[in-house]
Amino acid sequence: MWLPSYATPSERLLRTLVVMLAVAVLLFLIAPLFIIVPLSFSKDPFFTLPVREYSLRWYEDFFGNARWMTAIFNSAVAAVATTILATTLGTLAALGISRPDFPARRLVMALLISPMIVPIVIVAVGSYLFFGQFGLTNTRTGLVLAHTALATPFVVITVTAMLSTYDTNLTRAALSLGAPPTAAFFRVTLPNIMPGVVSGAIFAFATSFDEVVVALFMTAAEQRTLPVQMFSGIRDQINPTIMAAATLLLALSIILFFALAMLTRRRAR
């Protein structure tokens, strides 16, 4: 169905092989993610399939354990604070950078994107040493500051992309009809770019909630986040309770992913 009528037999064979290879690669991409789901519902503490008997014991273990619960709470607090900060700063910057008369746009954009590029360990160690000078290591504030720096590029990218399709005449019309600049922004511009802002916020939330390395350096036991708790668990002795945690994180990712997909589709319409 995907071949022109003049294709040679060898070309048909090759095309079939390419399609098969692509399907295999896609399975390679997706299968490992879903391996952990059945394992987390297994009654046995082994990591083999098929599962012989299903049970919720690892979830009971997870939700009954104060350490995991504290970790979830810490992650949620840090992620919400990061989201608010990163979305505000990133949206403002995107609004500025999208104006036609923004000076040195390429340079500023390269700088704003650089937190995505710099190796995470360097951000982690730099933050650990620098924030340590102000007593901010092992505090939630320090963690949120570092996470916000990592999350802002995502907001800048999504909102800038949104603004590239936004008709600025709408804002101008509002202004010319006498709206004060703030009203024009909150009642005309912002509602129109909202999908981009929310996408950015989702990215920011996920960035903070999933981040391990900076959290590893910047937190002590009291601020320990869910990924850090998982990381140390795997390092010591991997156990099925970690499978339950991983499955819950996977579920959260899928929910966020579909929320984002819906936003994108609404934008396309």
Partner 1 sequence: MTAVDIDRINIFMAVRRAARPARRSAFSLALPLLAFLAVAFVAPILYLLVTAVANPETREVLPRTLVALQDWDGKSAPDERVYAALAEDLKVAKDNSTAALLGKRLNYEISGMRSRVLAAARMVEKSDGGPYKEKFVQLGQEWASPETWAVIRRDGASFTPYYLLTALDLRQAPDGSIERVHGDQAIFLDVLGRTLFVAGLVTLFTLLLGYPVAYVLTIAPKAIAGIMMLMVLLPLWTSLLVRTTAWVVLLQSDGIINDILLGLHLTSEKLQLIFTRFGTVTAMTHIQLPFTILPIYSVMRAIPATQLRAARSLGAGPSSAFWRVYAPQTLPGVVAGCLMTFILSLGYYITPALVGGPRDQMVSNFISVYINRDLNWGLAASLGVVLLVVTLAIYLLFLRLVGADKIKLG
Query: What is the number of H-type helices and E-type strands within the chain?
Result: 12, 0
Q: Which is nearer to partner 1, 53 or 101 (CB)?
A: 101
Residue at 4: amino acid letter: P
Minimum separation from the CB atom of position 64 to partner 1 (A): 21
Count Cβ atoms below 10 Å from residue 172 Cβ, excluding itself.
12
Instruction: Determine if 208 is a binding residue for partner 1 (CB under 8 A).
Output: no
> Of 62, 115, 201, 219, which one interacts with partner 1 (CB under 8 A)?
115
User: Which of residues 78, 79, 143, 149 is near partner 1 by CB under 8 A?
Assistant: 149
Binding-site member from 89, 163, 204, 263 for partner 1 (CB under 8 A): 89
Which span sits near partner 1 by CB under 8 A: 61-69, 87-95, 167-175, 186-194? 87-95
Q: Does 113 bind partner 1 (CB under 8 A)?
A: yes
Whose CA is closest to 82, among 9, 2, 155, 137?
A: 155
237 binds partner 1 (CB under 8 A): no
Q: Cα(80)–Cα(94) distance, rounded to whole angstroms?
A: 21
54: three-class secondary structure by DSSP: strand
Q: Does 260 bind partner 1 (CB under 8 A)?
A: yes
Cα 104 to its chain centre, rounded Å, is: 28
Q: Where do we find the tokens 């339950």?
A: 244
Q: Distance between CA 158 and CA 9 in Å, rounded?
A: 45
Residues pairing with 42 in the sheet? 54
Where residue 139 falls (left for φ over 0; alpha for ψ -120 to 50; beta otherwise) is: beta
Interaction between residue 130 and partner 1 (CB under 8 A):
yes
Tokens of 166: 């936004």
Q: How many residues bind partner 1 (CB under 8 A)?
A: 100
Q: Is 250 near partner 1 (CB under 8 A)?
A: yes
Cα–Cα distance, 93 to 86 (Å, whole number): 10
Question: Taking CB under 8 A as the rule, does residue 80 contact partner 1?
Answer: no
* Given 56, 69, 129, 262, the residue binding partner 1 (CB under 8 A): 129
In the region spanning residues 51 to 70, those forming contacts with partner 1, defined by CB under 8 A, are none
Residue 3 C-beta: closest distance to partner 1, Å: 9
Residue 73 Cα to chain centre, angstroms: 18
Q: Which of 128, 143, 195, 201 binds partner 1 (CB under 8 A)?
A: 128
Q: Does 123 bind partner 1 (CB under 8 A)?
A: yes
Write out the binding residues for partner 1, residues 11-50 only, by CB under 8 A: 11, 14, 18-19, 21-23, 25-26, 28-30, 32-33, 35-36, 39, 46-49
